[in-house]
Every structure is written in C-alpha cells, then in structure tokens.
Amino acid sequence: MTAPTVQHHCPARAAIAGNPSDGYGGAVVAVPVDACRATVRVDAHARFEIDPAPTDDDTFTTWADLAEHVDRFGYRGSRPLLLATLRRFAAHTSHQPRPVAIRLSTSIPRSVGLGGSSAIVIAALRCLYDINELAPPSNDELASLALSVETDELDIGAGLQDRVVQAYAGPVLMEFGADDQRVVGGLTAGSYRPVRWDHLASLVVATRPHEAEPSHLLHNDLRSRFRSGDERVLAAMVTLADCARRAAAAIEHGDHSALAGAIDDTFDTRLSITTATTGQRRSVEIVRASGGAANSTGSGGSIVALARDDQHRAALADQLSADGCVVLPVGRTA
C-alpha cells in the first residue's frame, strides 16, 4: 500500500545558451538552480483539496500593490496550475486519481525566467504518480506531460526546455529540430543529452523580482512572428541552436572562452528579435564590464553570468547584489 503522504521537490532552472529557440525547432543548454525550488506535498484525503501556501507573490501590503499585480499577471497562479495538473494526469494515465490534499510551497521568484511554474507541475506530477501507485514516467515523458499541462489545459505558450532540465535534475543539451522529434508516451519530445557538471565553470543567476513578467507575453508574439515566416526570427533560431551546441561542447571540454562566446552570442541574438528590461540590460553590462559573460535565463528579467573562476564569481555576486539583484549560486557553487 502506498504511503499516505508523498512529497517531491523540483529546482528552478536557468538557460545558458540557445534560448528561446527550444519552442522553434532549435536547441538549448540549461541547468538546474538548486538554490530555490518548488515543494509539493500530497496527502491521501477524503476529498480533493488544493491549498497553495501563501508566498510573497500572493500577499499584498496595499490595494495598489494588489491592483498592480493583477494588471501585470492577470489571474493566473499556482491553483490553476495544480488543477490543470490533476486533469492532465488523469487524461494521460487513463486513471481516476484518488482524492488528495495538495499543499504547495515555493521559493522560486515568480515570472522572472527561472521556471517556477514548470517546477510546480513537475513536483506535483511526481507526487500524483506515487500516491496513485503508478510506475513513474521516464524523464522524457514527464517533461512532455508537464508541458501539456500549460499548453493544452491552460493555453499558455511555453517550450520544453524548463521541463526537460527539471525532469533530469542536471545540465542538458536539448535539440528540437525536425530530425530530433520523437513520440514518447504519446507525447512529442526532442532529443536530450545530459552534459557533465565537472567541467562547468562558475555560474551565478541574478534576478530583479520587480521586473517580473509572464513568459507568455514574450512567447505569444515570438510564436506569431515565427509562424508567419519572419526571416529575422527564423535566422535567429538557427544561430541560437548553434550557440547551444557550442556551449555544450565547451562545457564538456572545459573550454571557458568558447562557453563565454556561446553565452554572449545567445544574449545578443536574442536581443535582435526580442526586448530586455532596463534592469536586465544593466545586469548584463555589469557582468561584461568585469570580464564575464551573460545571458537571459528565460523570459523574465533574470540573467545567468559566467565568471572566470570562483574568486571572480564572488566579486560578480557582490557587484550584482549591490545593484539591487538577488543573486543565486548555480552548479558546483550551489
């Protein structure tokens, strides 16, 4: 008999190179960010009960704060994610879930490009498989199922990169070209190759929570331009995919210079087809002025910075913190 309570954690994630080409036939390298994570606890219960714990993003000091939050993010939140996860789990497994109480807590800042929503879904799916005594899916199937929660149930534009790196819980090179497409458990997947941690140079993530914005704002426009055949967008996706492959090879060979080039080229290419917040641009400027490389972690205002060594990483963290960023360690520094 299964345990009456199950719990799973899922870390944040940061893209290093190639993003956001994962949703457009490209390739991405990303890493987990263990410094913050989503935790889902599921208890056998008499009825279905969803009770996300309040976070800083769900409480407001003033009415103006609440109104600004709704204007920026709408009415999306963790409760719809969990409801959608239950629906997709049942549909995908053809299994009627047992009644459960779901409790959520997360330390991942909302809508800053660190995969906070996908972390919640991944952790919740793992719990649902366990509490319903079903064999867990492969990492590939789990990632695609997690994506379908947002794209099919909630009609939110998203790509696979967040879910893949969070399912694997390690650095991954993900490729999504026509030749890489596969069907896993009835769901579309790409081609994934784990990347070794031991040659990954010092990385930090810097985020500015006050510049948060939902990922669909970027992806809805970009997807429309891609589908319409915008030549600049199509060319950028090819360049971004090449950046990801260069980054993976550089990490595995311990080639710091090549990795820095792939990271910087990704940000510059990304900037040619999308926008960046004022704070994000400033963060990148700080990193580059000190001799580091930087890229956007995702569609929010966060960046990932590559330092020359651990001493430089510490100095970069101090500079970014002094400029108002929340700094998180990545990889072997976590």
pLDDT band at 118 (very low <50, low <70, confident <90, very high): very high
> Could you tell me what percent of the chain has a pLDDT over 90?
71
Res. 197: pLDDT tops 80: no
Q: Which of 64-73, 99-108, 146-155, 239-248 has the lowest mean pLDDT?
A: 64-73
Task: Examine the domain organization and report whether 229 and 174 are in the same domain.
Answer: no
Domain tally for the chain?
2
187 and 224 share one domain: no
Do 271 and 298 belong together in one domain?
Answer: yes
Point out the domain boundary residue: 194, 222, 240: 194
Q: Which of 270, 283, 195 is nearest to 20 (CA)?
A: 270
Torsion of CA 75, 157, 262, 255, to 10 degrees: 80
Q: Say whether pLDDT at 37 is over 80.
A: yes
Contact 150, 219 (CB under 8 A): no
- The 3-state secondary structure of 113-178, one letter per residue: CCCHHHHHHHHHHHHHHHHCCCCCCCHHHHHHHHHHHHHHHCCCCCCCHHHHHHHHCCCEEEECCH
Identify whether residues 211 and 189 lie together within a single domain.
Answer: no
Task: For residue 44, give both structure tokens.
Answer: 């056998």
Percent of the chain with pLDDT over 70: 89
Q: Is the pLDDT of residue 121 over 70?
A: yes
The whole-model pTM stands at 0.89
Q: Please say whether the beta carbons of 261 and 244 come within 8 A.
A: no
List the end-to-end C-alpha distance of the chain, in Å, as a whole number: 36
Residue in the structure block whose two tokens are 């929503």: 117
Q: Rounded to an integer, what distance in angstroms lies between the CA atom of residue 21 and that of residue 234?
A: 10
Domain final residue pick, 194, 224, 244: 194
Do both 253 and 165 map to the same domain?
Answer: no
Q: Verify that 182 and 231 share a domain, yes or no.
A: no
Q: What are 42-67's pLDDT values in tens digits?
A: 999 999 998 766 554 566 777 777 77
Q: Give the tens place of pLDDT for each residue, 224-268.
A: 899 999 999 999 999 999 999 999 999 988 899 999 999 999 999
Hey, is 263 helix, strand or coil? helix
Q: Which domain does 42 fall in, by range?
A: 5-194
Do 160 and 276 have their domain in common?
A: no
Q: Which of residues 194, 227, 262 is at a domain's end?
A: 194
Q: Residue 159 sits in a domain of what CATH number?
A: 3.30.230.10
